Structure 1
Amino acid sequence: MELTYRLDPDLTPGLLDELTHLWVAVNNTGGAVGFVGTTTYDDVRPDVERYAESTAAGRHRLLAGFDPAGRLRATAFFGFNAHRLQSHYAWLYTVMIDPALQGGGHGRSLLAEVETHARGFGLEALKLTCRGGLGLERFYASAGYKEVGRVPGGLRVSADDYRDDIMMWLPLT
């Protein structure tokens, strides 16, 4: 299945609802997207609302992937730095592929679209963090990202489960 990517789609109530459902599905199938364990629509919705507000204020931009039926199936948020010494790069947040589509090359396709848009914004690099213990750093490395920092045990996912907080960097120049 091909996905069509759109930058800055209208954040309608329907799209925000789809984003919330996608985020819950990704999290509840083991995705490392800011929550731990099983989560609910009501748990995730406040974060979706914060993204909507931040996007409206220009601090974030959404790259969304839609299936042929127009359903949201992939996301990546660009987070722009306000500090003048960091304006040459953006953060990448909430990179998600619908669990039903994972393993089919859609993650690579999403990252390629991210890179294209980042270059179009005139950025020199992208930065992201990922949770250790899931192989995510290998996935991002295969797309050109380099590990540039690691905080051992920097993420507590439960009382006795600490994971490394891994910082990845993609130079665009």
Structure 2
Amino acid sequence: MSEAITIRRLNAEQAQACAPALAEVLIDCVEGGASVSFMLPISRETALAFWHAVAQDVGRGERILLAAVDAQQRIVGTAQLVTAQPENQPHRADVAKVLVHRAARGHGVGLRLMLAIDETAREAGKTVLVLDTVTGGAAERLYARAGWERVGAVPNYALMPDGTFCGTTFYHKQLASN
């Protein structure tokens, strides 16, 4: 499947138009137990509102949105690069909401998104990337394969979609500038 996946950078208009498909990926991930800032039950309206807000951030140049598209032109994954940072951190960006639909997992979609994030960050002049993820989750293996370095973990940092506490592990990656 990974050969049939294309990673696309969406502009604000494309992000707005793709909001329903992006919402489906978000809902699937949350319903599958992903701790990505949303609680169960997650409504379609909540998911759509999130993606419309992301599209506005893209339009303001504060965020870059990537979508993984399969051979049937369905969005099966997404990742974001938050480029709006404080004045003293123009070289840094946060990676957010790396999501892969459960039906597309195990086929390299997440790794393709992470490699595209690296290239996109370089193109944006970013050399330090940070992210966080659920401690002990499958995403930790993905980030290790993608060359990220574990910084540390905070117990009981967030809630899983079902309301139970989970720890959060922080990672960083230093990119060589082009």
Could you state the TM-score of these two structures normalised by the residue count of structure 2?
A: 0.87
CA pair 38-133 structure 1, distance change in 2 beyond 3 A: farther
Shift of 1:102: 0.1
SS class of match (2:130): strand
Distance in 1 of aligned mates of 2:82 and 2:148 = 17
Shift of 1:160: 7.1
User: Partner of 2:74 in structure 1?
Assistant: 71
Tell me which amino acid in the other structure corresponds to 1:26: C
Contact 1:137–1:168 under 8 Å retained in 2: no
The residue correspondences of 1:1-173 to structure 2 (distance < 5 A) are 1=1, 2-9=4-11, 10-11=13-14, 13-157=16-160, 161-173=164-176
Tell me which amino acid in the other structure corresponds to 2:6: T
Distance in 2 of aligned mates of 1:35 and 1:142 = 26
Distance in 1 of aligned mates of 2:166 and 2:156 = 5
Contact 2:6–2:69 under 8 Å retained in 1: yes
Q: Which runs of 5+ in 1 are unaligned?
A: none
**CA deviation vs aligned residue, 1:117-144 (integer Å, no higher than 9, x gap):** 2122221121111122424323212211
For the aligned residue pairs, the C-alpha RMSD in angstroms reads: 2.0
Distance in 2 of aligned mates of 1:101 and 1:159 = 23
SS class of match (1:73): strand
Shift of 1:103: 0.8
Contact 1:133–1:163 under 8 Å retained in 2: no
Q: Which stretch shows the higher mean deviation, 14-23 or 36-45?
A: 36-45
Shift of 1:16: 1.0
Shift of 1:23: 0.8
Aligned length: 173
Distance in 1 of aligned mates of 2:76 and 2:66 = 11
State percent identity of aligned pairs.
Answer: 24
Distance in 1 of aligned mates of 2:8 and 2:163 = 40
Structure having greater relative contact order (Cα 8 Å, sep ≥ 6): 2
Distance in 2 of aligned mates of 1:100 and 1:159 = 21
